[in-house]
Amino acid sequence: MQKNTIATEKKEKRFSLKDIILTTIFTIFFIVQIILMFLFFNELSLIILAYIGYVIWGFSIYFGLISFWTFKKRGSVEKGKSYLNTTKVVEKGPYAIIRHPQYLGGILFTISITLWTQIWLSLILSITIIILTYQWTYTEDKNLIDKFGDDYKKYKVKVPRLNPILGIIKYFILRKKS
C-alpha cells in the first residue's frame, strides 16, 4: 500500500524524442564551444571584448555556483539529499533577483566564451545555446508550478525569469514597500 503512495507522489519524468535531440545538440554545441575556447583567443584583436568576457564570466560563476549552495541551504533539503530535493520555494540570494540563476550562469558563460574567442562559429553556438536554455526555463517553470503550486505562482509574479537588471529593480521596490 505504501509503495503505491510513493509511486503516486513521485511523477515519473518522461523525455520525448524532441527533448533528447535538443539536449544532445545543446551538449555537442557546448563541448565544441569549450574546445574553441582553448583553440582561439582574441581572434579579432579586440582585447576590450576579452576583458568584458572576463567580467561576464565572473557573474556566470556567481549565478551558476552560489545558486547550488543557496538552494540547498534555503530550500529545506534533508541532510544527505541533493539540492534538487527542495521542499519550499527559495527566495533568497540570487533567487531574490531571478528565478533561474543557474540557467543565467550558463548563458553568461557561453557569452563570455564568445567574447574571448571572437569567432563567428562561437557566436552561432552561443545563440543556439541561449535559445535552448531560455526555452528550458519555460519547462522548468511549469514543473515548479506542479511541485509548489500557488507559492511558485506568487514567486513568479515577484521575480523575473532571467533578467537580473529587472530583478534588481523589482527587489529594491519590493524591499522598499515592506
Which residue ranges form the domains of the chain, and what is each CATH number? 17-177 (1.20.120)
- Per the CB < 8 A criterion, the answer to whether 162 and 59 are in contact is no
At 81, the pLDDT band (50, 70, 90 cuts) reads confident
Residue 33 burial by Cβ neighbours in a 10 Å radius (0-12, 13-18, 19+): buried
Residue type, position 115, single letter: L
Give residue-wise pLDDT tens across range 39-68.
999 899 999 999 999 999 999 999 988 888
pTM score of the predicted model: 0.85
- Which of residues 117 and 19 earns the better pLDDT score? 117
- Per the CB < 8 A criterion, the answer to whether 77 and 83 are in contact is yes
pLDDT of residue 24: 95
Q: What is the mean pLDDT of the chain?
A: 88
* CA–CA gap between residue 130 and residue 106 (Å, rounded): 8
Closest CA to 48 of 96, 127, 105, 118: 118
At 157, the pLDDT band (50, 70, 90 cuts) reads very high
Residue type, position 138, single letter: Y
pLDDT of residue 7: 41
Mean pLDDT calculated for residue range 114-120: 96
Closest CA to 36 of 131, 116, 111: 116
Residue linked to cell 530535493: 85
Residues 6+ positions from 87 with CB-CB distance below 8 Å: 75, 76, 77
Mean pLDDT calculated for residue range 133-154: 93
- Cα three-residue angle 132-38-62, rounded to 5 degrees: 55
Mean pLDDT calculated for residue range 75-80: 80
pLDDT of residue 69: 83
Bin 15: left if φ > 0, else alpha if -120 < ψ < 50, else beta.
beta
At 175, the pLDDT band (50, 70, 90 cuts) reads confident
For residue 100, how many other CB atoms are within 10 A of its CB? 24
3-state secondary structure of 79: coil
Residues 6+ positions from 163 with CB-CB distance below 8 Å: 98
